[in-house]
Amino acid sequence: MQGDRQTHEDPDPTRTTIPLARAARPSPVKGGLTLGQTGEDPAWSCAVISDSQAHLSTLRGRATLESPFEGGRQRSAATMQGDRQTREDPRQHPRQSPGSLRSSVPLREMGWLLPMAGGTGSVARVDLPDVLAASLRTTFGDGGRRWVEDLPMRIDDAQRRWGITIEAPFRPGGVTSFVAPARDAQGNDLVYKITVPHDEAVGEDTALIAYAGDGAVQVLASQPRTFESLLERALPGTDLWSVHDDRERVEATCRLMARLWRPVPESSIGRLAPVAGRWADVTERRLITLELPWISGPIERGIDLLRTLPHDQTADAVLLHGDLHPGNILAAEREPWLVIDPKPLVGDPAFEPVQILTQRAGRIAEPPELDVVASRLSLIAGLVALDPERIGLWALARTAEWSMWSFERGDTIDAAVAYTWTRTLDTLMA
């Protein structure tokens, strides 16, 4: 259920929260980006990219924000994990600083030699992070290989299209995306992201545009047909796991969570109900196929909840991030924390807090005692103004699905931990 970990550093304790909605008086500055100055404190000024889409449509006069995908989509039942990026300021760690793609980068970690980009010579080779290379080989097969073969051309096209220089990718990086720091001609720090086409990636830019920078990074330019984005870069970019106090992490995540929930922007965002129904079917099939009758009780109750919970909600359906955990929350300058990498869905808000309930240090963790789980549920529910029982029922449903997914993959350790959560939540919710 997890992806790639990010480096853990303490964020700047001096930062103060100033909502993007308060930014005013946008004015064009270098590179065609738009900066703003807060209305409350004229002395406080940083790279606040305007939430006006008119200002997002230009980067050196060439970057256009294309229309998002139209129509519906299906999401994989296998996983809710996404793409994690290590977005540290290379000036803080010169030994880990990304190098330019215009130089020859060794391909030891990748195992695949990538060809030179077509005719321009600006991208000689691409160094894939280990986790992405492994995912392309094991998950995407021939489609992954074809995507890799096209990657140098895509990177070269993006550099010319948007007038940017793309550097070596972040590490450990994402399992389905090539994500790298980039700069425009004026030296503005950006992020280039290109994703292997798959169900969960559809709607990411749509969600980020809907957030309009309110608690999330902004989309500066987008090529939905090729799953490419040019994004605001969060600096220093250390993730929320760098905060060691558990309650502080929970509170920060929940504050952002509630800010992100909003009316549905358009139909390209998939609905939770059919996705949960497919999870139920796949989980049931795995339970039968793997012949694990001794765990069937809690798993079967989780399957039933996957089928019923989306249809008996009383709260209004909202735009869900879909993968909101501390690894997808990065320290930034214009706000203390910004969210990245949505895997959006539309549905019950009680679905969203499951990961912050069950995870520690970027992985699903052994559940604590029942009274501690109950207390944590109560804390989260109070912070997001939801029914703790409903959050707990969604957690039971999801951990049942995670259990069987992990068992099928042969990841017996994660499967055992996820099942322990399923059993604990089943007891608590009884």
156 neighbors 122 (Cβ within 8 angstroms) = yes
Residues acting as catalytic residues? 323
| SS3 (DSSP) at 207 | helix
Structure tokens at 280: 């139920």
H-helix or E-strand containing 147? helix 141-162
Query: Rounded to an integer, what distance in angstroms lies between the CA atom of residue 101 and that of residue 151?
Result: 12
Contact 131, 175 (CB under 8 A): yes
Among candidates 346, 351, 350, which has minimal Cα distance to 319?
Answer: 346
Exposed / middle / buried, residue 56 (Cβ in 10 Å: 0-12, 13-18, 19+): buried
The alpha-carbon radius of gyration of the chain (Å, integer) is 21
The residue assigned the tokens 């980020």 is: 208
Give residue 6's Cα distance to chain centre.
Answer: 12
Please answer whether residues 180 and 191 qualify as being in contact, where contact means their C-beta atoms are separated by less than 8 angstroms.
Answer: yes
CB 329 within 8 A of CB 413: no
In angstroms, the Cα distances linking 81 to 1, 40, 275 are 5, 38, 14
CB 173 within 8 A of CB 86: yes
DSSP structure string for 311-322: GS--SPPEEE-S
